[in-house]
Amino acid sequence: MHKYPKLMSAHLAPELREQYKRRSFPVRVGDKVKIMRGEFKGVEGKVTRVDRENQVVFVENVTVKKTDGTNVNRPIHVSNVMITELNLDDPYRKQALVRGKEVEA
């Protein structure tokens, strides 16, 4: 259980990678991501839910229709997304982003 947060890391977009001098960072609710593989490839949206146990994220506007006609969110494996915009509302997360790096933030 204590290893799940690190396993929930996704690649950063090239501009974020250059800015923060790191390749990946854990995904959180509120981050904007772009889906890189699968049926929804190219779709961008905000992360609405993170399921650490199954290592999947739920992105807004990524839904599938059930046989009864209702729409449900489609889980996307964290390895298939790229973070395009970080949610930096949490000061601890800002600190974790620059920890061990020399960055002009």
Is the CA virtual torsion 100, 88, 14, 12 positive or negative?
positive
Task: In whole angstroms, give the CA distance from residue 22 to residue 26.
Answer: 12
Q: How high is the pLDDT of residue 102?
A: 65
The answer to whether 38 touches 57, Cβ cutoff 8 Å, is no
pLDDT at 1: 86
What pLDDT sits at residue 71? 96
Neighbours of 54 (CB within 10 A): 10
**Cα–Cα–Cα angle for 20, 25, 27, rounded to 5 degrees:** 130
Going residue by residue through the chain (105 aa), what tens digit of pLDDT does each one get? 899 888 999 999 999 999 999 999 999 999 999 999 999 999 999 999 999 999 999 999 999 999 999 999 999 999 999 999 999 999 999 999 888 776 555
The pLDDT assigned to 100 comes to: 75
pTM check: above 0.85: yes
Structural domains in the chain, sorted by start: 4-87 (2.30.30.30)
How does strand 71-77 pair with strand 32-35? unpaired
